[in-house]
Structure 1
Amino acid sequence: MTTPTVPEPVAAFIDHVNAHDNEAFLDSFTADGFVDDWGRVFTGRDEIAAWSDNEFIGARGTLTVEEVDVTDGLITVVGDWRSNHANGRSSFALETDGDRITSMTIREG
């Protein structure tokens, strides 16, 4: 099975996540970027960091990409998420502005 090609800046973002590089992960977002994790919204670096410390980077999460869709600027990555917090197939829909992420919405894959 070949790994789907993930466009930038999302490919670098996933690399940061899988390397558990907290600073690079946070730097991937715009100043007003947000994470929508199943309806819970975290906006800005401080809120995203607090969420991530417990449920994402801090939970040693890794994503194995299985599918990628790019439609109207929305990059959706579906894959197997493994962490100390949650596990399973998940969908990550990301919007970007240049080389930064403006939003990441996490749902069931």
Structure 2
Amino acid sequence: MTKELPHTIRFATAKTPTEGEIFSQILHPGWSSAADRALLASRAANKSLFEIAQQTGRSTTAVTQRYHRLRSVPNIEKLLEAHGEKQTPYDPEEDLSGLRTTE
């Protein structure tokens, strides 16, 4: 005997993460919002990742990985602006779930 499937199958829908939740996934205690903004601005000015690494005293690998991590976040420039330009490293415990680029 076979069972009939119900006429409607309910799928659990995954919650869409907020911009702040996405942003919080890229926080790194070795970087700050000011350093991230400077990195993005330098790349926008066509500086190579090698040049940026030399200027910041970081390894080329660290700068390259950070740059690609930042690029993976939609609206990263606006999120960094909303977070504020802080010189202190990111605090992994900071609650950024309410951070957003739109009102």
- For normalisation by structure 2, the TM-score amounts to 0.31
* Structure richer in helix, relative to its length: 2
Whose Rg is larger?
2
User: Which protein, 1 or 2, shows the higher relative CO under an 8 Å CA cutoff with sep ≥ 6?
Assistant: 2
- For normalisation by structure 1, the TM-score amounts to 0.29
